[in-house]
Amino acid sequence: MVKELKKYKKSQNEFKLLFGESYQNYDLIFCRENGHPIYPRTLALKFGAIIKNAGVPKIRIHDLRHTHTTILMELGENPKIVAERLGHTSIKTTLDTYSHVTPNMQKETARKFGKAILKGNG
């Protein structure tokens, strides 16, 4: 992934040189060739085409944020770290929004609890 982002950054720098002073530098990670923001509808259409070509279930761009957060929570990542990645100023926001429990999290919690009980009674 980092390799792809570096490749993209190089391409972006080439466009900056090509457009010269007419390049609009808004300091965006993803933008049009001339530096202008990508229209939300254009981004959604391109993302939809990528999803379709990949043969994965249809999701919205915002769903990537939700999926990323859910996976981190399932992995047991520290909620403070997750909150920072999401840009939340309070861990409460993160936990209130994303603390829904998945079946995997329930199973893992039951497994850990069972292990602790057995260890304590042994």
For residues 30 and 74, membership in a common domain is answered with: no
For residues 25 and 66, membership in a common domain is answered with: no
Q: State the DSSP H helix or E strand holding residue 72, giving kind and residue range, or none if neither.
A: helix 61-74
For residues 49 and 11, membership in a common domain is answered with: yes
The CA distance from 44 to 64, in Å, is: 13
Per the structure, the complete domain to which residue 105 belongs is given by: 61-121
For residues 75 and 47, membership in a common domain is answered with: no
* Closest listed residue to residue 93, CA positions, set 103, 85, 102, 101: 85
Please give the pLDDT value at position 119.
85
For residues 77 and 109, membership in a common domain is answered with: yes
Please give the pLDDT value at position 91.
92
What is the total count of domains within the chain? 2
pLDDT tens-digit map of 3-45: 888 888 899 999 999 999 999 999 888 899 999 999 999 989 9
pLDDT tens-digit map of 59-100: 898 888 888 998 898 888 999 999 999 999 999 999 888 877
For residues 85 and 106, membership in a common domain is answered with: yes
For residues 43 and 24, membership in a common domain is answered with: yes
